[in-house]
């Protein structure tokens, strides 16, 4: 395609005024009185959330299909100048709410005939990313629809997701952190920042514009969103109105840093007013009082479901998540950086849109307020679960065990985080009852029909939806899969992938290493003081020394790792996530590598010792044998979680 022809073609398509009413989207009208009542309700709860959780600054907006808007600001935009937060003036970082603009751009290109949602994405890319493919299947091509549905099959990537320093161009960022393909495309939803960024890069490849410039020209400008930008760092005119992020730590507010993220995945800075304009256009067939960004028919397609496993589990609508609450369909997207949180909610049938943003809180804030809002203004509808067939009728006994979320790491050293991030231990506590804990909340589900469970515990703040139902399915690897709301599922792990098995290796290894090192130090002190200690055979002395080196390398690596893993007080993740310490990383890697090498060496020497001296003396053989056993197991564990590479 000749890129020089793109801009005039798309200009005509985007700015063309529609003479027909947007009859494809016919929301219920909300009166000004109802809007005021709803707005004041949300305002009260936002005000309480801000006070109760020491939130330094926040905004909210609620808008109708006719464009009537209720907005409020809370706290101070900066504690340095004490200026009250203004929803019209002040910009917030909104994290993954940025993704909505990526999918909007893709749908614009689709509307103009420049992309096909079901064609191989390599048709549009100017580089081959050479993904490692870990599943055993034919190499099914990835499409834009897969990217939009988070079903392309990528592993999760944390590298360079957040940084305190400017990042390279988008294409280079993607090449620096190419993920493996761990699921066949179209089979498992696994939320992917990398996949979204790849879609943003496709926008660049097709249009010849940077992603930031494209969004400026074809979304922000037509809709009058004059206080929004994807540029990082922000231009001075925007930066001057950007709120400062803080977190309440030990009785005081500590200021955070500007976080650089891959622009399509989380780079937007915007105001509540601008997001109200965007919400209005989404509710009004693609246009607001400033202009049009998409034809009503295309927008209706964007809002329609594009992937779901089961009618009881909310799916995804061309990049927008679905949320069924009290029988009402919401299409939405949440967003978080390490210090900002936001929520974008559309209720198409009610003709309402809501936006929340704040710093210093958590993703649960806006979700909890939305739950209260829906319970008050949209009463519960009865759902007849018995009308729905299960995907897989499984016995509860088969389901018990440890599960990892589908958004998992496989090839990076971050793989070990699968044990703690989004994982759960499913228990059967009574007939037809299962329980588990997830994101610090307890969940209880009752089986409705075999393979379908309904939550009976209190409403949750699960970040991807209400988690009202669990539907049992089967993962591509044959393991049971718990299907929930949004772009996430939970896949049962095998026995050697559980935290229990990792602890069975790590804890004894830690104890043995500490004990051996302490024994050798005490023996050295005794030798210095008494000038003699009981003798050992040559084989025993050599193995003891290797054990000492092994224990020292392991414990030193662990100490250095713990030092590097100390969380930032404001941003909560380790400092190394934002500013890698290459020297410290090298020392940790070297220590773990030496640990692995010495483990193999111990095994060889123990075999040599048995052949040379038999099992004598028995006490030292038992100690050395146990240490070697766990040292080899530790080497396997480090290798399995990609902490060493052989």
Give the pLDDT confidence score for residue 205 in this predicted structure: 98
Instruction: Report the distance separating Cα 383 and Cα 99, nearest Å.
Output: 31
Average pLDDT over residues 157-182: 94
Collapse the DSSP code of 459 into the 3-class scheme (helix H, G, I; strand E, B; otherwise coil) and give the result: coil
Highest mean pLDDT out of 284-293, 371-380, 559-568, 592-601: 284-293
Q: Looking at the predicted structure, is the pLDDT value of residue 356 above 80?
A: yes
The pTM of the whole model exceeds 0.85: yes
Count other C-beta atoms under 10 Å from residue 24's C-beta. 16
Residue 198 sits at φ, ψ, to 5 deg, of: -60, -40
Length of the chain in residues, anyone? 646
The three-state secondary structure class of 181 is: strand
Predicted pLDDT at 625: 87
Give residue 347's pLDDT band: very low, low, confident or very high (50, 70, 90).
Answer: very high
The span from the CA of 173 to the CA of 159, in Å, is 10
Distance spanning both ends of the chain, measured CA to CA? 45
Is 14's pLDDT higher than 60? Answer: no
Average pLDDT of span 186-195: 96
Is the pLDDT assigned to residue 72 strictly greater than 80?
yes
Residue 552 has pLDDT above 90, yes or no: yes
Distance separating alpha carbons of residues 305 and 79, to the nearest angstrom: 43
**Torsion of the alpha carbons at 531, 533, 536 and 539, rounded to the nearest 10:** -50
Q: How far apart are CA 549 and CA 591, in angstroms?
A: 10
What is the pLDDT, as a whole number, of residue 29? Answer: 67
Give the list of residues 6+ apart from residue 590 with CB closer than 8 angstroms, or none.
none
Residues 482, 473: Cα–Cα separation, whole Å = 6
CA distance 578 to 581: 10
List, as one string, the DSSP characters of 105-154: HHHHHHHTTS--TTSBGGGT-SS-----B-SSS--PPPBHHHHHTT-S-B
Per-residue pLDDT, averaged over 584-595, amounts to: 92
What digits encode the pLDDT tens for the residues 264-297? 999 999 999 999 999 999 999 999 999 999 999 9
Domains of the chain: 31-377 (3.40.710.10), 388-497 (2.40.128), 499-640 (no CATH)
Q: Which residues contact 83 (CB under 8 A, 6 or more apart)?
A: 76, 77
pLDDT at 3 over 60: no
């Amino acid at each position: 395609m000749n890129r020089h022809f793109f801009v005039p073609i798309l200009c005509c398509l985007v700015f063309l005024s529609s003479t027909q009413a947007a009859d494809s989207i016919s929301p219920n009208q909300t009166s000004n009185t109802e809007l005021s009542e709803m707005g004041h309700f949300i305002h009260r709860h936002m005000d309480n959330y801000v006070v109760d959780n020491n939130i330094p600054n926040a905004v909210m907006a609620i808008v109708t299909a006719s464009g009537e808007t209720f907005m409020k600001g809370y706290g101070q935009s900066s504690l340095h100048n004490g200026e009250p937060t203004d929803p019209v003036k002040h910009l917030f970082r909104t994290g993954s709410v940025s993704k909505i603009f990526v999918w909007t751009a893709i749908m614009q290109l689709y509307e103009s005939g420049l992309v096909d949602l079901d064609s191989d994405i390599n048709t549009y890319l100017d580089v081959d990313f050479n993904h490692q493919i870990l599943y055993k299947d034919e190499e099914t091509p990835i499409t834009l629809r897969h990217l939009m549905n988070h079903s392309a099959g990528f592993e999760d990537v944390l590298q360079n997701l957040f940084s305190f320093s400017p990042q390279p161009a988008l294409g280079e960022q993607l090449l620096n952190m190419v993920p493996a393909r761990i699921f066949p495309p179209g089979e498992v939803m696994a939320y992917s920042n990398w996949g979204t960024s790849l879609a943003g890069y496709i926008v660049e490849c097709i249009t010849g514009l940077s992603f930031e410039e494209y969004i400026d020209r074809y979304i922000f400008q037509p809709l009058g969103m004059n206080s929004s930008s994807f540029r990082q760092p922000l231009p001075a005119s925007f930066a001057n109105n950007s709120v400062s992020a803080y977190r309440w730590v030990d009785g005081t507010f500590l200021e955070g840093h500007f976080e650089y993220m891959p622009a399509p995945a989380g780079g937007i800075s915007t105001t509540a007013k601008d997001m109200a304009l965007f919400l209005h256009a989404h509710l009004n067939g693609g246009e607001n009082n400033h202009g049009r960004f998409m034809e009503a028919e295309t927008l209706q397609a964007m809002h329609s479901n594009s992937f779901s496993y089961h009618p009881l589990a909310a799916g995804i609508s061309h990049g927008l998540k679905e949320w069924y609450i009290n029988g009402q369909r919401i299409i939405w997207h949440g967003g978080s950086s390490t210090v900002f949180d936001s929520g974008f909610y559309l209720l198409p049938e009610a003709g309402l849109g809501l936006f929340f943003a704040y710093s210093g809180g958590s993703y649960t804030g806006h979700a909890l307020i939305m739950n209260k809002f829906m319970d008050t203004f949209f009463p519960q509808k009865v759902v007849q679960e018995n009308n729905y067939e299960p995907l897989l009728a499984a016995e509860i006994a088969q389901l018990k065990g440890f599960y990892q979320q589908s958004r998992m790491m496989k090839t990076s050293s971050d793989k070990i985080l699968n044990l703690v991030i989004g994982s759960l231990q499913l228990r059967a506590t009574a007939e037809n009852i299962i329980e588990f804990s997830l994101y610090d909340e307890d969940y209880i589900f009752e089986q409705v029909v075999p393979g379908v469970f309904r939550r009976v515990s209190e409403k949750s703040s699960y970040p991807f939806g209400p988690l009202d139902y669990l539907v049992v399915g089967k993962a591509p690897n044959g393991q049971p899969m718990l299907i929930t709301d949004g772009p996430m599922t939970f896949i049962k792990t095998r026995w050697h992938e559980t935290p229990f098995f990792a602890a069975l290796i790590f804890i004894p290894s830690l104890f043995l290493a500490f004990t051996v090192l302490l024994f050798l130090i005490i023996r050295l002190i005794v030798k210095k003081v008494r000038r003699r200690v009981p003798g050992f055979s040559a084989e025993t002395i050599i193995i003891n020394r290797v054990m000492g080196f092994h224990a020292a390398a392991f414990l030193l690596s662990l100490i250095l790792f713990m030092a590097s893993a100390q969380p930032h007080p404001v941003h909560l993740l380790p400092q190394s996530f934002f500013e890698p310490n290459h020297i410290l990383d090298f020392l940790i890697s070297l220590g773990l590598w030496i640990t692995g090498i010495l483990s193999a060496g111990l095994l060889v020497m123990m075999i040599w010792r048995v052949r040379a001296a038999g099992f004598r003396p028995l006490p030292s053989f038992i100690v050395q044998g146990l240490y070697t056993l766990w040292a080899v197991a530790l080497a396997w564990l480090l290798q399995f979680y990609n902490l060493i590479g052989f």
